[in-house]
Amino acid sequence: MPLNPSRSRAKDRSSILGRPEFLSLNVPPRNNKSWRRAGPSKSQQNQPSENPAEPPDEDCMLLNPSFKGIAINSLLAIDICLSKRLGVCVHTSSSWGSVRSAVTLLALTGHGITWICGTLVCLTQSNTPAGQELLVNLLIALILDVLTVAGVQKLIRRKGPWDMSPGFLDCVALDTYSFPAAHASRAAMVSKFLLSHLVLAVPLRVLLVLWAVLVGLSRVLLGQHHLTDMACGFALGFLHFALMETVWLSSGACQTLISIGTFSWGSVH
C-alpha cells in the first residue's frame, strides 16, 4: 500500500529538524514580557556561565609587546645565559674548579672590609699631612661606595645567576644582592683614585688597571654576579670617584677628623 505523500514529507521534515544544526529552529518563540518576568529556569541557573570572569592582568598574555620590551627581555636573556656560562668557578666540581681558591683570593682583594681595614691601618701608621689627607679621603670614598651599593642592591634586589647565599664577609659589607657588583665598583673607584693621586710607573699603572678588571670578573666566575652587574659596578665606581673629587676634604679638615677619631684635641693647631 503506497504511503501518503504528505505524511512522508512531514516525516522527512521532522528528521531533518532533529539534526543538531537545526535544533534552534524547534525552539518556540519567547514572549519577551513573560520571559523577563519569569526569569531564567532552574536548569539555566545550574548551567555554568558561558562568559566566565576575565582572568587577572598577571594571567593575561601580552599579545602585542612593544619593541622596547622585546629588546630589554632579549638582552636580559643573553646576559643570564652568558653569565651562567662564565660561572666556571662556582663549585669545586666546575670546569675551573681547581682554581676556585685563587679566584676567591683575587676577589677578596677587592672586598670592602679588606680595603676599609687596610686604609685604617695605613692611616694609623702615616705621619705626614699629605698622606693622611689622601687616606682620609680614600676612607670616605670607600664608605660612600659601600653604602651606595648596598642601598641600590636593597632597592633592586636582583639575584645572581646561580642560587648562592652570600658569605659572612659579604653580609658584613652589605653585599647581599647581585646588582650592582660591589667589587667591580670598589675596584674601579680605588684604581682611578690611586692613578690620579699617586705617581706610579707605567708597569704599575697597567697592573692596577688589570687588577681592577680581574677583580670585577672574578665575581662573575664565582657565579655571584651577572655581566651587566659588573659593567654597572664599574660605571658606579667611576661616579663615586668623580663625586669624591668634588667634595675633596682639605688637609685641615682631615686633621680635624683624625683628632676627633683619636680624641687628641690638643694636637689640633
Q: Which residues are catalytic?
A: 183, 225
**Of residues 8, 243, 5, the one with CA closest to residue 137:** 243
User: CA nearest 211: which of 108, 138, 83, 137?
Assistant: 108
d(C-alpha 215, C-alpha 20), whole Å: 74
Please state, in angstroms and rounded to a whole number, the distance separating the CA atoms of residues 239 and 221.
25
What are the two backbone dihedrals, phi and then psi, of residue 174, each rounded to the nearest 5 degrees? 60, 30
Which residues are within 8 A (CB) of 98 and not within 5 positions of it... i.e. 6 or more apart? 92
What's the rounded Cα separation, in Å, for the pair 209 and 115? 17
What is the rounded CA–CA span in Å between residue 31 and residue 38?
10
Grid coordinates of 40: 531564567
Separation of first and last alpha carbons in the chain: 138
Distance of CA 147 to the CA centre of its chain: 17
Provide the residue count of the chain: 269
What's the one-letter identity of residue 100? R
Exposure string over 109-135, b if 16+ CB within 10 A, otherwise e: ebbbbbbbeebeeebeebeeeeebbbb
